[in-house]
Structure 1
Amino acid sequence: MDFLHRNGILVIQHLQKDYRAYRDFLNFMSSVGDPRNIFSVYFPLWFQLNQTVGTKMIWVAVIGDWFNLIFKWILFGHRPYWWVQETQIYTNHSSPWLEQFPTTCETGPGSPSGHAMGSSCVWYVMVTAALSYTGGRIDKSSVTLHRLTWSFLWSVFWLIQISVCISRVFIATHFPHQVVLGVIGGMLVAEAFEHTPGIQTASLRTYIKTNLFLFLFALGFYLVLKLLDIDLLWSVPKAKKWCANPDWIHIDTTPFAGLVRNLGVLFGLGFAINSEMFFLSCRGMDSYKLSFKLLCMMTSLTLLQLYNFVKIPTQAEYLFYVLSFCKSASIPLAVVAVIPYCIHVLMRPREKKIN
C-alpha cells in the first residue's frame, strides 16, 4: 500500500506542477462530481423527462453512496493531504509539499472516492437511458445512428469520469487508485440496478424498510467495531490536524452526514411518489404535455439552486443530522409532488377558460 501511496504522491505533484494553469477547470470538475449535484441538478432534469430514469437515479445514487461508506470504513484509506504529513517513509524531513484547496479537506476515509463513484454511477444511468431511445429499432439507418450515438455518449462518459478523477487527485484529496476504485464501484452498482425493475413500483413501506435497513446496518457496523476498539471516525481528527485552513473543514463531509443526507432523499422520494399530489399531477393528463414538463423542470432547478442558500446550523451535531435529513427529504418531495401539483393546479383554470 505504501507503494501506491508514494507513487500517488508523485502523480499529485506532477499534476499540481503541470496543470496549475487549469486549476480552475479542475476545481470545477471536482464540484461536477459532487454527489449533491445528483439531487439538485441531474434528478430534477431526468425525472421530468422520464420518471423511470429519475427514480432509478435516486436509488443508484443512494445505494452507491451507502456502499461507498461501508467500503470506506472497511478499507481505512488515507487521503494524500494528511498521509504525506504522517508517513515515515520520507527521511530527513523531506516530505513533499502538496497544495491544498477549499475542497481538499474532506474528513472521511479516502478509499474508494465518493465523488468518482457517484459521478460514474449516475452518468452510467444517464448514458444507458439515452441509448435505450435509439436501441429499439432494427432498420439499417437506425442501427448506424445507434452505433454513432453509442460511441459519442460513452466517449463523453469516460471524458467526464477521467476529468473528475484527475480533479480529485489534483486537489490532493484522493490517491489515483482510490478514484479508479470509485469509478468501477459506481458502474457496478448502476449495472446492478439495470436488472432491478422492482424499484419502479415500490410502496412507501418498501422505502421505509430500505431506509431502516441501511441506517441500522451502518449504525450496527459502526457500534460493533467501536466495541472492538476500532474507531471508524479516525479520519476526522487527521483532517482537522492537517488541513491548511480550519474554515475548509465542514461537518457535511463526515461519514454520517452523507448517510443521513441519502436516507433523507430516499425517504422523500418514497413519500412523494406514493402521494396523492403525485398521482393527480405526474400521473394525470398534464404529465404528457411538453409545457408541463418544462415548467416543472425549470421551477425545480430554480428552487433547488435557491435552496442551496439555506444553511443548516452546525453547532449542535445531532440537530444538524436531523435538519439535514429533513432538508434532503424535501428535495424529492418538491420535485416529484409539490411543484408538479402546483403547476397542475395553475394550468387547469386556463384550459377551462379556453374551452
Structure 2
Amino acid sequence: MEAVHTHGIWIAERLQRTTISHEQLWLTITHIGDPKAAFLLIFPFTYFISKRTGIAVLWTAAVSEWLNLVVKWMLFGERPYWWIGESRLFVNKPPHVQQFSSTCETGPGSPSGHAMVTAAVWWVVVSALGTFLYSRTRSVTLASAPYLFYLVMLVSVGLSRIFILAHFPHQVIAGSITGFILGVALSHRVPDGRSLLFFFSLSTGLLLSTVMLHAGLQRLGIDLSWSIVLAKKWCSHAEWIRLDTAPFSSLTRDCGALLGLGMAQYWKPGGWSLPWAPRALSLAISSMGLYHVNRLPLPIRPPGLFYGLFFIKFVMVPQIVMVLVPGLVHMVTHKKRN
C-alpha cells in the first residue's frame, strides 16, 4: 500500500497547489458531504416535499454511516495527514501540503464516510426526483439531469476530502462505490410505517452489537483507539480534534436517529397532511430548530455523558421535523382557516 498512499499524497499536493485559491469552496463542499448534513439538512428538506423520500433519506443515512463505521474498524485505513509523518518516507522531500479545520477526523480512513453516505443518501434523492420528472414529462433528457448532478456531487465531495488531507483517493472511490450500492438497495426497503418495536430493536441491536464488536476486538489485542492516538499526534491544531467526529459519535447519532424515526411514526402515523405553504413554513422552522439543537454545547467529560446526550440530540431530530413543528403549524393554520 505504500505506493498507493505515496501517489495519493502527491495527488493531494497537486490539488492543493492548483486550487488553493478555492479553499473556502472545498471546505463548504466537505461540510455538505458530512454525514451529519444528511440528518440535519437533506432529511428535513426532502421530508416536506415527499414524506417517503424524507424517511428513506434518514434511514439510508443512519444505516450507511453505521456500516461505514464497522468497515473502518475492519480495514484499519490510514489518513493522509498522519500517514505523511508516520511513514517516514518524506524526510528528504516533504510534500507541500497543509491541514484545515475539517482535516483532523479521528476514525480510520477507509472507506471515506463522507463519500459513502453522500453516495447512498443522494442516490435516494436523485432517483426519486428522476422518476418524478420522467412521470411528468416523459423526457429522458430532463429525467437524466438529477443523475448528472449526482455524479458532480460525488466527484466534488471526493476531491474536497483529498484536498483537506482527510482521505486518500482510493478511499474516496471505495466509499462512493459502496455508498451507491447501499443507496440502490436501501431505497427499495424503506421502513415506512413499521412498528416502534422494530425501530427500538434495530437501534438497540446496532448499538449493542457494535459495542460488543469493539469489546471483542479489544480482547483480541486489537487497539481500536490507534487512529485517535495518531490524530492527536499529527493534527497541527489540537482544537481541530473534536469528540463529535469520533467513531462512537457516529454510532450514537445513527442509533438515536433510528429510534427517533420510530417514535415519530408512532406518535403520528402517516405524519401531518399540510398544504404547500404550511410545509414551507414547517421546513423553515424545523431548519432553525435543528440548527440550534446542533449548536447546543455538550460536556465532553465524562465521555459517556457526552455520548448519551449526543444520542438524545439525534432522537429529537425526527421528532422536530415529523411531529412537533408540522403539528404546531397545522394547529395554527387550521385555526386561521376556521
| TM-score interval for Structure 1 and Structure 2 normalised by the shorter chain | over 0.9
Task: Tell me how far 1:309 sits from its aligned partner.
Answer: 2.4
C-alpha distance in 2, partners of 1:129/1:2?
41
C-alpha distance in 1, partners of 2:189/2:316?
25
Consecutive unaligned residues in structure 1, runs of 5 or more? none
Aligned alpha-carbon RMSD (Å): 1.5
C-alpha distance in 2, partners of 1:241/1:222?
23
1:235 paired with 2:221, answer no
Q: Kindly provide the amino acid, as one letter, of the partner of residue 120 in structure 2.
A: C
Tell me the SS of whatever aligns to 1:258.
helix
Task: Tell me how far 1:312 sits from its aligned partner.
Answer: 1.0
Q: Kindly provide the amino acid, as one letter, of the partner of residue 148 in structure 1.
A: T
- With normalisation by structure 1, the TM-score equals 0.92
C-alpha distance in 1, partners of 2:221/2:158?
34
Consecutive unaligned residues in structure 2, runs of 5 or more? none
C-alpha distance in 2, partners of 1:191/1:251?
31
Q: Kindly provide the amino acid, as one letter, of the partner of residue 56 in structure 1.
A: A
* Identity score, percent: 34
C-alpha offsets along residues 165-214 of structure 1, whole Å, 9 cap, x if unaligned?
Answer: 111000011000011111111111111113324x1121100001111221
Tell me the SS of whatever aligns to 2:134.
coil
Name the residue aligned to 1:125. 124
Maintained 8 Å contact 1:38/1:122? yes
C-alpha offsets along residues 11-42 of structure 1, whole Å, 9 cap, x if unaligned?
Answer: 01101111111111111111110111111111
Superposed, which structure 2 residues align to 1:1-355 within 5 Å? 1-90=1-90, 93-136=92-135, 142-143=137-138, 145=139, 147-197=140-190, 199-275=191-267, 278-279=268-269, 282-283=271-272, 287-352=273-338
Tell me the SS of whatever aligns to 1:282.
coil
Task: Tell me how far 1:348 sits from its aligned partner.
Answer: 2.3
Maintained 8 Å contact 1:107/1:249? yes
Maintained 8 Å contact 2:121/2:183? yes
Task: Tell me how far 1:123 sits from its aligned partner.
Answer: 0.9
Q: Kindly provide the amino acid, as one letter, of the partner of residue 216 in structure 1.
A: L
C-alpha distance in 2, partners of 1:270/1:169?
36
Maintained 8 Å contact 1:85/1:95? no
Q: Kindly provide the amino acid, as one letter, of the partner of residue 155 in structure 1.
A: L
C-alpha distance in 2, partners of 1:112/1:194?
21
Maintained 8 Å contact 1:29/1:163? yes
Aligned length: 338
C-alpha distance in 2, partners of 1:177/1:7?
10
Q: Kindly provide the amino acid, as one letter, of the partner of residue 30 in structure 1.
A: T
C-alpha distance in 2, partners of 1:178/1:54?
28
C-alpha offsets along residues 58-84 of structure 1, whole Å, 9 cap, x if unaligned?
Answer: 110001001100110011000000001
C-alpha offsets along residues 235-264 of structure 1, whole Å, 9 cap, x if unaligned?
Answer: 001000000000101011110111001111
Maintained 8 Å contact 1:121/1:190? yes
- With normalisation by structure 2, the TM-score equals 0.96
Maintained 8 Å contact 1:296/1:343? yes
Task: Tell me how far 1:93 sits from its aligned partner.
Answer: 4.2
C-alpha distance in 1, partners of 2:100/2:154?
21
Q: Kindly provide the amino acid, as one letter, of the partner of residue 265 in structure 1.
A: A
Task: Tell me how far 1:97 sits from its aligned partner.
Answer: 4.2
